[in-house]
Each structure stands twice: as C-alpha cells, then as structure tokens.
Structure 1
Amino acid sequence: MSDSNNNGILEKLVNTVMGVKDSNQQQLRQLSASTTQELDIKAVLIYKLGTILQIVTMIFVLLGIEKIVVLIDNNSSIPSWVSTFLTGLLFAVLSIRSRMFSLLDNTRSSQTYDRVIRPKWAPPPLAFPIVWMIIAVLRVISSVLVWQEMNHQFLVLPLILFVVHLALGDTWNTIFTVERRLGAAVPVVILGPWLSAVVVTAVYWQTNLYAGMILSFSCVWLTVAAVLVFRIWQLNGCEPLYPLKLRPMKNK
C-alpha cells in the first residue's frame, strides 16, 4: 500500500514538472477519428509553419537574454555567477517547456501510448517523463558549458541548432502524441528529433568535449524511442508514412 502511494506521489511530481496532463475530451475525439488514405497537405503546412515560427521565437529569446547577460557582465557590481545562473535558468525553461513557444498543440499526455499496441520491451509510461527530466538536466549542463566556451554568446551555431532540435521534438510530439498519426511519426522522429540530436551532440562535442559527452545520452534514448515508434507503427497496422486526413467520427 505504501509503495503504491509512493509511486502515485512520484508520478504526480514527475508529471507536474514535465507538464504531462490527462487527456481531455478533445484529444479522445481525435484519437477515435477515422482516417482516409489521403495526404493531409494542410497539416504538413501547419507543421512546417509551426516549427519555423517556434524556432524564430526561441532565437529571439536567445537574443533578448544575450543582451541582458551582456549588461550583467559589464556591471562590475553584479557577481559573475548571476549571468551563469540566468543562463542555466533559460536553458532549463527551454529544455522542459520549449513547447510554450510553439503554436501547435503540444499537450503532453500518455493517452496515445496507453491506447496503442506496444512491443513487450516497451518502457512503462512513467519512464518517459523521468528520463526526459534527466535529459533536461543534461541539456542544461551541456548548453551552459557551450555558452561559456563561446564567450557568453547565445546566437552561435551550437545553441541555434539546439533550439532547432527542441522545436523538431515538439512538432513530433504533436504528430504522435496529440494527433496519433502513427505513420507520419516514423520518418519525423528519425529526421527530426533523432537526427537533430546527433547533429547537436556532434557540434557540442567539437565545441566542448564534456558538453558533447554529457549530451550523448540523449542520442541513446532517442535511438530507443525511434525504434519504439517504428515498432508501434508496425504493430498497429502500418498506415502510410505521411499525415493522413482525419475525419471525426459522428456521434451516434
């Protein structure tokens, strides 16, 4: 009984930090929608536009923070650790809640994962927010190391690639978790979150060895995630690998 309560408390804590919510009725309607075999061109355009706007917005956030940090660094009366703390806080916000800068619906929920057929080796739902919390911490540490290596600059290639990676991950979340497009999720997870994670890790590694080593764990996890997404797609009908038009089912 005590173990069950402790697990419940842990789950609530982790889900609160990572912003994982119970599915609302709108999501349930989306998940029960029937599909055609027709390419949803509108959805493709929305994904692209949403991703681009999120990247641009986060770059402007980096620019704003850079100006604040410059003012702090140039003020001798302010301790040097303040700018490092502010930078770490920024990367923490980006790593945990980058979706707040997205126009797409990026609701975190285990609804899709709970409702699909999964391979026997699939991790339990609670494992995902826990692992992502760990990865968020590693992202903060590695990004701060890169920022220090780049003389406290934010608008540099490694950090711009980092926000691109975050935006691609949020778009994938919309496709898989929110809209349950299992086919489209396969190429997107490979060409989006996984590939961009490899690129960011490689660039971080070149910039600061320790930063690259720290971030490399995210590549391992995303490799597992990509394989899992592929297996879920196989086990649930192998729908076409592009966004299908959703046609809401009529209430009887």
Structure 2
Amino acid sequence: MNQSNNIGIVEKFVNTVIGVKPGNQTHSLSTSATTKEIDIKAVIIYKLGTILQIGVMVVVLLGMEKLVSLIDNNSAFPSWFSTLVTALFFALLSIRSRIFSLLDNTRSRTTYDQVIRPRWSPPPLVFPIVWMLIAVLRVISSVLIWQNMNHQFLVLPLILFVIHLAVGDTWNTIFTVERRLGAAVPVVILGPWLSAIVVTAIYWQTVPLAGMILSFSCVWLTVASALVFRIWQLNGSEPLYPLKLVSLEE
C-alpha cells in the first residue's frame, strides 16, 4: 500500500513538472468522423504553427543574448550568474517549449491510454520521467555549447535545437491532442527523430562532450518512433497524412 502511494506521489510530481494531464479527458475529435481526404487546412496550420514557433524562439534567443551580455558586462554580478540564468533558460525551453507554440500542445495521457499498444510499450509513468531526464541532459549539453560559443545564443547549434523543440511540439499536437495516428508516423520520423540526430551531430562536432550527453535523446526517440509506428499498425493503419474531419452532427 505504501509502495502504491509512493508511486502515486512520484507520478503526480513528475506529471506536474512536465505538465502532463491524467488520461481521463474526452478525446477532442470524438464528435467527428474522418474521410480519406487529406486535410489541407491542417497541414497548413501545422506548418505555419511550427514556423511561427521557431521564429518566436529565435527572437527569444536574441533577447537572451542581449540579457546575458548585459550581465557579463556588469561587475555587480558574479561570474557564474550568467551561466545560472542560461541554465534556467534552457531548462524552461526543454520542459515547456510549448509556451511559444500557437498550436494546442496540451500534454495528456489520453491518447496513449486509449489506443491499442504493443506488449513492449512502457507504462505511462515512464514517459514523463524519461523526458525529465532528457531535459536535464539538454540543459547541460546546451550550456556547454553556449560556453564554447562565447556566450552567444544566435548560433547554428542552438538554432537547430529550438527547431527540434518546435517540431516536437507540432508532433505532440498531431498525435496526443488530435490523435491523428497516421500523420504522426512520418512527422515523428522526419521531425523529432531526424532533428534530434542532426542536433546531436552538430553538438558533437562543436563540443564532443555535449554531443555524447545529448545522444541519449536519440536512443529514446528511436524507441518512441518505433512505438508510434506500432501503435499506428495496431489501430487501423490509417493513411499517413492528416485526414479531413466531418462533424457527426452534419
């Protein structure tokens, strides 16, 4: 009983930090039926939403560069203060990058709890715990890159990093929020997984230790991509694009 309570406390804490809601919500698309027609409007919204999020985060990087420059040039602050501010900034990006997204990026277990999953799929609690660990690794590796780049933020590795976060948020909208299991397959491969490989390679080239630290995220995203693919297979193998929705009330 105590072990069960402890697990419940840990789960609540982890979900609160990551912002994951319990899987007891009604599916947002339950009042709609799908056709075999591609939803062009959804595709445009995903692309624009991703591009705008990237643009906003690049502007934020510029703002951080100005802020940290002021801190570094102000003798009133200790030498380590700008590193602390930078680490907190990367922590915010890693855990809550969705605050910069115009898309619905609600973190919820609803879809994962309701779909048919393979036997080897991890329990729901594993995901927020692993993502917390990855967030820590992202912070450490990104701070190493920032230090190597003379405290600059508008550099290729960090710009690619925010692109990776943005495409990950868009994938979350497609899979978790809208439950488009077919569209989620190519997006997770061409988005979060491929961008993670690219970012890790660039980090490794810039600071080998940073690349090694971040490489764990590639391993996890490989597993996650395989899971997304298997869930798609087990739940009807719908077309690999967003399907146009038709209201059941019509």
TM-score (norm 1): 0.96
Where does residue 148 of structure 2 map in the other structure? 149
Closer, same or farther in 2 for the Cα pair 1:31/1:113, shift >3 Å? farther
Q: Secondary structure at the match of 1:245?
A: strand
Where does residue 242 of structure 1 map in the other structure? 241
Q: Which amino acid aligns with 1:63?
A: L
Q: Secondary structure at the match of 1:76?
A: coil
Closer, same or farther in 2 for the Cα pair 1:91/1:3, shift >3 Å? same
Where does residue 196 of structure 2 map in the other structure? 197
Q: Whole-Å Cα distance in 2 between the matches of residues 152 and 84 of structure 1?
A: 9
Where does residue 135 of structure 1 map in the other structure? 134
Aligned residue pairs total: 250
Q: Whole-Å Cα distance in 2 between the matches of residues 31 and 22 of structure 1?
A: 18
Question: Given that residues 31 and 112 in structure 1 are in contact (C-alpha distance below 8 angstroms), is that contact kept between their aligned partners in structure 2?
Answer: no
Residue 94 of structure 1 pairs with residue 93 of structure 2: yes
Aligned-pair distance for 1:78?
1.3
Aligned-pair distance for 1:31?
4.2
Q: Whole-Å Cα distance in 2 between the matches of residues 131 and 31 of structure 1?
A: 30
Question: CA RMSD of the aligned region, Å?
Answer: 1.3
Where does residue 111 of structure 1 map in the other structure? 110
Aligned-pair distance for 1:168?
0.3
Q: Whole-Å Cα distance in 2 between the matches of residues 94 and 43 of structure 1?
A: 25
Q: Whole-Å Cα distance in 2 between the matches of residues 196 and 239 of structure 1?
A: 25
Aligned-pair distance for 1:29?
3.8
Q: Which amino acid aligns with 2:9?
A: I
Where does residue 18 of structure 2 map in the other structure? 18
Q: Which amino acid aligns with 2:135?
A: A
Gaps of 5+ in 1: none
Question: Given that residues 138 and 215 in structure 1 are in contact (C-alpha distance below 8 angstroms), is that contact kept between their aligned partners in structure 2?
Answer: yes
Question: Given that residues 23 and 113 in structure 2 are in contact (C-alpha distance below 8 angstroms), is that contact kept between their aligned partners in structure 1?
Answer: no
Closer, same or farther in 2 for the Cα pair 1:24/1:47, shift >3 Å? farther
Q: Whole-Å Cα distance in 1 between the matches of residues 24 and 32 of structure 2?
A: 15
Aligned-pair distance for 1:77?
2.5
Q: Whole-Å Cα distance in 2 between the matches of residues 201 and 53 of structure 1?
A: 23
Alignment deviations for residues 11-39 of structure 1 (CA, whole Å, 9 cap, x no partner): 100000000113576x5241463211010
Aligned-pair distance for 1:71?
0.7
Question: Given that residues 37 and 240 in structure 1 are in contact (C-alpha distance below 8 angstroms), is that contact kept between their aligned partners in structure 2?
Answer: yes
Alignment of 1:30-179 (within 5 A): 30-31=29-30, 33-179=32-178
Closer, same or farther in 2 for the Cα pair 1:62/1:87, shift >3 Å? same
Q: Whole-Å Cα distance in 2 between the matches of residues 183 and 225 of structure 1?
A: 15
Question: Given that residues 23 and 111 in structure 2 are in contact (C-alpha distance below 8 angstroms), is that contact kept between their aligned partners in structure 1?
Answer: no
TM-score (norm 2): 0.97
Q: Whole-Å Cα distance in 2 between the matches of residues 205 and 122 of structure 1?
A: 30
Question: Given that residues 29 and 248 in structure 1 are in contact (C-alpha distance below 8 angstroms), is that contact kept between their aligned partners in structure 2?
Answer: no
Q: Whole-Å Cα distance in 1 between the matches of residues 21 and 227 of structure 2?
A: 22
Q: Whole-Å Cα distance in 2 between the matches of residues 80 and 29 of structure 1?
A: 49
Q: Which amino acid aligns with 1:127?
A: V
Q: Which amino acid aligns with 2:11?
A: E
Q: Whole-Å Cα distance in 2 between the matches of residues 3 and 74 of structure 1?
A: 51
Q: Secondary structure at the match of 1:95?
A: helix
Q: Secondary structure at the match of 1:30?
A: coil
